[in-house]
Amino acid sequence: MILLNEDTKCLVQGITGKQGSFHTEQMLQYDSNIVAGVTPGKGGQDFQGVPIFDSIEATKENTNVNASIIFVPAPFAKDAAFESIKHLDLVVIITEHIPVHDSMEIMAYAKDKDVTVIGPNTPGIISPKVGKMGIMPTHIFSEGNVGVISRSGTLTYEVASQLTRAGIGQSTCIGIGGDPVIGTDFPKILQKFEDDPGTDQIVMIGEIGGNAEEKAADYINANISKPVVSYIAGLTAPPGKRMGHAGAIIEGNVGIAESKMKALEKAGVNVAKKPSDIVELIKNI
């Protein structure tokens, strides 16, 4: 497993909000190690036994927290992310619709502080049998040795569910986010899976728009020895049409599914034509 393990001690920013409270309850039911929540003005209260603090600084003084998951609304997400990045090692930003310039500032600060940021606009991270920092439905995941990395939350669920039904468990599943500007890209996660003794195969789920998959193909060719199976969503998408994510838009011949698939195949990746092919490709490795 990567990023989320037995040593991860997480706080929830925005724990008292509608989304924060709902998903905190779900994470606790999955035995995730949620040690605190942060909502300014709510310090001294608790949520289902989880103490709430006014700030991350106060949380650090009272707990051994080292990670954060952010459910703060988009207008306030940058401030929340900066506070997390200043004090913690891992930050997962669930929030959607964060302005691009805010995301750029967040990522620049994270790079300066050498902090791992997942997202924004991500379903999060799940390491089966250990816990989750995210919003994914836990019943579709199972413990195993296949690492899953995806730009699409929905396809993460679909692929994990098919793997589980086929008796193929997962080490860690990560949604890197569907926005144009994200914290951690395919190559960084691919390398973590490459270095992880608990991961034997990798599934990479991409989509149209941008050149993230082409960059990943180059990285796989040069650095990854473990078998990689990939699927690219949006093969039939019309040019100029945004498909689901802010980052999933093709202009001219840039970012089309065919070019991504060809680049991955050239790098030795087993490319699935449809999501349901992934299980057989994994089995045949």
- Say if residue 109 carries a ligand binding annotation: no
- Say if residue 30 carries a ligand binding annotation: no
From CA 230, how far away is CA 219, in angstroms rounded? 14
- Say if residue 273 carries a ligand binding annotation: no
From CA 176, how far away is CA 96, in angstroms rounded? 13
CA 118 to chain CA centroid, nearest Å? 5
- Say if residue 94 carries a ligand binding annotation: yes
Beginning with the edge strand found earlier in the chain, give each strand of the sheet holding 228-233 in spatial order: 131-134, 124-127, 170-175, 143-150, 201-207, 228-233, 270-272
Angle made by CA atoms 260, 264, 270, in degrees to the nearest 5: 125
From CA 134, how far away is CA 27, in angstroms rounded? 8
Selecting among 97, 101, 139, 245, the annotated active-site residue is: 245
23: annotated active-site residue: no
- Say if residue 157 carries a ligand binding annotation: yes
- Say if residue 86 carries a ligand binding annotation: no
- Say if residue 17 carries a ligand binding annotation: yes
Q: Contacts for 189-193 with beta carbons within 8 Å, 24 or more apart?
A: 189/2, 189/147, 189/149, 190/149, 190/216, 190/219, 190/220, 190/223, 190/224, 190/228, 191/219, 191/223, 191/224, 192/2, 192/3, 193/2, 193/147, 193/149, 193/226
* Residues of each annotated binding site: 16-19, 42, 94-96, 157
* Residues of each annotated binding site for substrate: 157
Task: State the catalytic residues.
Answer: 245
* Residues of each annotated binding site for CoA: 16-19, 42, 94-96
